[in-house]
Amino acid sequence: MDRLRSVWFESRHLDAGAPALRAELAALGSDACESVLAVGDRLAAVSLTLAQQYCRRAPAAWQLGEDFFRRWVAHGETLATVEPASREAAAAYFAVDVESLAALPAGDLDAWIALACRVLGASRRLGELFVAGSGSVLSELGDRRRRLDAWVDVGLTLAGAGAWESELLALHFFESTALALPLFAPTHYARWAELGRVGARLGPSRPELFTSVPTALHALTEDERGVAVDVALAAADAPAVAIELYFSLPAVLDAAAEERDAVVASLLPVAQAMPRALTELLPVLRVLLERIPAASRGALVGLAGMIAARFPAGVVPYYRVLPRLLEQTGVAGVTRWVEEGLVVAADAVEAGRAYFALDSRTSRAVLAASSTAVPFTEVQGLLKRYLHMLSG
Give the pLDDT of residue 390.
55
How far apart, in whole angstroms, are the C-alpha atoms of residue 175 and residue 230?
22
Q: CA 278, 282, 286, 291: dihedral to nearest 10 degrees?
A: -60
Give the pLDDT of residue 370.
78
Give the pLDDT of residue 7.
79
Nearest CA to 319 among 277, 286, 285, 349? 285
Successive 10-residue mean pLDDT values, the chain, 392 residues: 76 65 90 94 93 94 96 98 96 97 96 98 97 96 96 96 86 96 97 93 76 93 97 97 96 96 98 97 96 95 98 98 95 97 96 97 92 48 50 58
Give the pLDDT of residue 209.
86
How far apart, in whole angstroms, are the C-alpha atoms of residue 51 and residue 53?
6
Residue boundaries of the structural domains of the chain: 292-391
Print the SS3 string covering the chain: CHHHHHHHCCHHHHCCCHHHHHHHHHHCCHHHHHHHHHHHHHHHCCCHHHHHHHHHHHHHHHHCCHHHHHHHHHHHHHHHHCCCCCHHHHHHHHCCCHHHHHCCCHHHHHHHHHHHHHHHHHCHHHHHHHHHHHHCCHHHCCCHHHHHHHHHHHHHHHHCCCCHHHHHHHHHHHHCHHHHCCCCCHHHHHHHHHHHHHHHCCCCCCCHHHCCCCHHHHHCCHHHHHHHHHHHHHCCCCHHHHHHHHHHHHHHHHHCHHHHHHHHHHHHHHHHHCHHHHHHCHHHHHHHHHHCCHHHHHHHHHHHHHHHHHCHHHHHHHHHHHHHHHHHCCHHHHHHHHHHHHHHHHHCHHHHHHHHCCCCHHHHHHHHHCCCCCCHHHHHHHHHHHHHHHHC
Predicted TM-score (pTM) of the model is 0.86
